[in-house]
Amino acid sequence: MARRLRCILFLAALSASLLPPLQASSGDADPIYKSCVEQCQKSGCVGDKCFQHCKFSSDGKPIDGPWYIEEPLYLRWKQWDCQSDCRYHCMLAREEEREKLGDNPVKYHGKWPFRRVYGIQEPVSVALSALNLAVQFQGWISFFILVYYKLPLRPNKKTYYEYTGVWHIWGILSMNSWFWSGVFHSRDVELTEKLDISSAAALLGFSLILAILRAFNVRDEAARVMVCAPLIAFVTTHILYLNFYKLDYGLNIKVCTAMGVAQLLIWAVWAGTTRHPSRWKLWVVVVGGGLAMLFEIYDFPPYWGFVDSHAISNATNIPLTYLWWSFVKDDAEFMTSALLKKTK
């Protein structure tokens, strides 16, 4: 047990030490890139590629031409405009030059140089977010069917499993988080970024609450309120701060990492002390979750312009989510069986 705790504490310290400092992107400060963008916004072209967006203003009205001509709606809905197209294609052109010179990729306006597919900014991350959403939905539905239709119910039609409600909330928050993750990675604008960050912070905050309630077997309603109230207040304040005062990426990474490490430590300690029949699943999720967190923190350029550390972390979460819901269902069966034995 002591050895396990030392490993867990080492993982926590390692995660904290890898928090990246905030740095300005060197790509958008490149004079060649800046000159390319300025020239493109005047001509509407980068090399042989010209963009229809540069003939229209941001509201779809023509810059030069009859007033009744508007940019097609199917092009406007993605919110690509002249500036974003110029930045994207100048970035690709500059990265091709840098690759020929043997230089490593650099960030542009805070993001690595990803390649679009049908207008989607990060297609691999979008696909993996959709898969995570599907696995979460399948796990949540199977849990719902188990506790309400397969396991016995109390005379008042409530479940014997005392954590049914919190797992339902967790499942809904998880699906909400993966939905906005997919939206954000398909098109990065201020609104989608805030929705992605806010939903992830809300999920991590509630996951920490859930870890405390289940690991310490908190059943009394008053005790649950004492656990939930300060954490809900903290997470709500954090989300409001990011959305309405300052979108501080460094602060958000620190807060989310702290909540993630805290819940992993709680689950790990509980897995090491409990005699739960499915504790091995908990250990796999804890270790896998720690590795996924390290991928989130350790940032590196995307391979082939598609697969970055965040995409790998999302891919890791797919089997872990399936195993996690399997543990939750096992826990429901285990606790229901134990309560039924006591009532007999």
Give the model's pLDDT for residue 145. 96
Instruction: Name the strand (E) or helix (H) holding 45.
Output: strand 45-46
Q: Cβ contacts of residue 337 below 8 Å, gap of 6+?
A: none
Q: Are residues 165 and 44 in the same domain?
A: no
Distance CA 40, CA 134 (A): 41
Q: What is the spatial distance between Cα 72 and Cα 56, in angstroms, rounded to a whole number?
A: 10
pLDDT in tens, 89-125: 888 888 888 888 888 888 888 788 888 888 788 899 9
Q: Find the range with the poorest average confidence among 135-149, 178-192, 293-307, 320-334.
A: 293-307
Of 40-49, 76-85, 196-205, highest mean pLDDT: 196-205
Chain segment 206-261, per-residue pLDDT in tens: 999 999 999 998 888 899 999 999 999 999 999 999 999 998 988 998 999 999 99
Q: Cβ distance 311 to 326 under 8 Å? A: no
The pLDDT > 90 percentage for the chain reads 47
Look-up: residue for tokens 């920490």? 208
Question: What total of structural domains would you count in the chain?
Answer: 2
Please tell me the predicted confidence (pLDDT) of residue 344: 62
Asked if the model's pLDDT at residue 82 lies above 90, the reply is no
What's the pLDDT band for 343 if we cut at 50, 70, 90? confident
Per-residue pLDDT, averaged over 133-153, amounts to 96
Please list the residues that pair with 153 across neighbouring strands.
Answer: 159
Supply the pLDDT for residue 259: 94
Looking at the DSSP bridge assignments, the partners of residue 56 are 62
Domain identity same for 134 and 11: yes
Of 44, 67, 100, the domain-final residue: 100
Q: What Cα–Cα distance (Å) separates residue 179 from each residue in 5, 63, 196, 329? A: 35, 36, 8, 24
Look at residue 11 and tell me if it is in a domain.
Answer: yes
Model pLDDT, residue 65:
46
Residues 145, 220: one domain? yes
- Domain containing 65 equals 27-100
Specify whether 187 is located in the same domain as 252: yes
| 289 is a domain residue | yes
pLDDT band at 8 (very low <50, low <70, confident <90, very high): very low
**Residue finishing a domain among 54, 71, 100:** 100
How far, in Å, CA of 331 to CA of 336, rounded? 8
Phi-psi category of residue 198: left, alpha or beta, with phi > 0 → left and psi -120 to 50 → alpha = alpha
Does 298 map to a domain?
yes
Residue range 47-75: average pLDDT?
55
- Give residue 13's pLDDT: 41
One-letter identity of residue 172: I
Instruction: Compute the distance between CA of residue 221 and CA of residue 211 in angstroms, rounded to an integer.
Output: 16
How confident is the model over 265-285, as pLDDT tens digits? 999 999 999 999 999 999 999
DSSP alpha helix (H) spans, the chain? 2-17, 31-43, 73-76, 82-100, 123-145, 164-186, 190-215, 221-244, 249-273, 279-297, 309-343
Please tell me whether residues 271 and 132 are part of one structural domain: yes
* CATH number of the domain within which 330 lies: 1.20.1070
- The answer as to whether 108 is a domain residue is no
| Pairwise CA distance, residues 314 & 312, whole Å | 5
| Per-residue confidence (pLDDT) for residue 80, from 0 to 100 | 65
Same domain, residue pair 326 and 233: yes
pLDDT of residue 207: 96
- Choosing from 100, 131, 155, the residue where a domain stops is 100
What is the average per-residue pLDDT within 316-341? 94
Asked if 7 and 137 sit in the same domain, the reply is yes
- Asked whether residue 50 is assigned to any structural domain, the reply reads yes
Question: 105 in a domain, yes or no?
Answer: no
114 lies in some domain: no
Residue 310 inside a domain? The answer is yes
Q: What mean pLDDT is reported for the chain?
A: 83
**How many whole angstroms separate alpha carbon 4 and alpha carbon 155?**
43
Q: Residue 102 — φ and ψ, nearest 5°?
A: 85, 15
Which is higher by pLDDT, 298 or 269?
A: 269
